[in-house]
Structure 1
Amino acid sequence: MVKEQLLTDIENEPPNYITSKWVVERVPFIFNGDIELYIDWKERLSLLIGVDSKSIVFTGSSAVGFSLNPEKNFKPFDESSDVDVAIISTHYFNISWHYLRNIGTDLFRLKPKEKNAIDDHRQRLIYWGTIATDKIVQLLPFGKKWVDAIDNMRTIEPTKDREINFRIYKDFEALRSYQTGSIKKLKDTLLKP
């Protein structure tokens, strides 16, 4: 029923509306409708990383219940799924951007996976106002604090023992724009003749 409603919305509604309804303005799927658990989870993370809880938004399959990646064919959120969390923070975005811009010769000491992630930020992600920390969090000036926060959040429900990935967005417009872009791609894929 939920998947059918999502598909109906993708076919009939504008991408911005879908982003609001299915990602930004909802109790995420992983919380099974329990708004108190959701607020508690966000308040706990808020204290650990120093970001207002309203600036913490679940994305991906943990928010929707299904992957919105066209290549994953609406794979349902399950026990092996990771949890993607948007952190909307101009402060952390600017620190990250400054670090990535000024990495200098330290770039040559990084692992290939880390170098590729930094190149992706320089060429694409920064333009969209986002920092994907999953491959570089340990390199960032606040990395230890965030790794500790992730480890802490992995000890409580409903994210217990799950992989948690943070993605920093410069502001809410960057979050909405990035998520809406993904919805547009999905819509184009589904409605392709």
Structure 2
Amino acid sequence: MDPEEFRALIAACDPEKFCEEQLFQKKSWLFEDSGLDEISSTYEEFRQAIGVATGVDPADIRLVGSSRFGFSMNPKPAKRFRPFNDESDLDVLIVSEQLFSEIWAQFRHAYYNGYAWVKERHGGDIFRRFLYLLREDRYNTSYLRQAAKRMDEMTKEVLLQTGISRTLKYRIYANWTDAVSYHAHGIRKLQRDLQNVAQ
């Protein structure tokens, strides 16, 4: 698929159906069609490595964005439909009610114990029902430090198992409905931007 075909697909799609029938399928352009020398494993092995590191069923792990289709789905004009390239990271979607609930509980615990920055940094994410752990040392509860370490170990495990040496960016969702809602919202924004450019 070339950029114009992908753009036309996005412009004409139903966002929710696109997520369920296209974006979240167990397929990945990166592993199946990119032909990049750095790919020495399968998509299944990639998801299995993340599952081992996080304790999440690999069936609830997906790649999204440019590694899924070969083109960025970021609505920002500078990144919109940009082809996967040497600077591209891997956007990992993880669906786990247990992991989401555990980390959210620890965010609340940290906030109630004086770490107001946790609410400021993660409040918008939690409102949209996903979590993203920062890779830094400001987490002052043992569980959040362990969770951040778990994500670092995930990255190392993926590198070890697959040979891929790219930055992993991941979002943890409570369920698939929340994942669809978030990504469908981004697709609708892309559609509005395409309509504005066409006018």
What interval of TM-score do these two structures reach, taking the shorter chain for normalisation?
Answer: 0.7 to 0.9
Query: Which residue is 1:11 aligned to?
Result: 11
Distance 1:69 1:78 in 2: 14
Question: Which structure carries more helix by proportion?
Answer: 1
How far 1:4 moved relative to its partner?
2.2
Unaligned runs of 5+ residues in structure 2 are 35-40
- TM superposition outliers: structure 1 runs of 4+ over 4 Å: 134-138
* Partner deviation per Cα, 1:44-103 (whole Å, 9 max, x = no partner): 221222110111011121122111112213111112111110110001100111111121
Contact 2:45-2:162 at 8 Å conserved across structures: no
Query: Which residue is 1:73 aligned to?
Result: 80
Query: Which residue is 1:176 aligned to?
Result: 180
Query: Which residue is 1:52 aligned to?
Result: 57
Identity of aligned residues (%): 25
Q: TM-score, normalised by structure 2?
A: 0.81
Q: TM-score, normalised by structure 1?
A: 0.83
Give the alignment of 1:3-42 within 5 angstroms.
Answer: 3-33=3-33, 37-42=42-47
Query: Which residue is 2:157 aligned to?
Result: 152
Distance 1:56 1:181, change over 3 A: same
Q: Which amino acid aligns with 1:58?
A: L
Shifted more, 70-79 versus 135-144: the winner is: 135-144
How far 1:142 moved relative to its partner?
2.3
Give the alignment of 1:56-135 within 5 angstroms.
Answer: 56-71=61-76, 72-103=79-110, 104-107=112-115, 115=117, 118-122=119-123, 124-135=124-135
- State the number of aligned residues: 183
Distance 1:138 1:47 in 2: 26
Shifted more, 135-144 versus 93-102: the winner is: 135-144
Q: Which amino acid aligns with 2:188?
A: K
Q: Is 1:186 equivalent to 2:196 in the alignment? A: no
Distance 2:94 2:134 in 1: 13
How far 1:131 moved relative to its partner?
0.3
Contact 2:54-2:154 at 8 Å conserved across structures: yes
Distance 2:61 2:181 in 1: 16
| Counterpart secondary structure, 2:42 | helix
How far 1:146 moved relative to its partner?
2.1
Contact 2:135-2:148 at 8 Å conserved across structures: no
Distance 1:31 1:19, change over 3 A: same
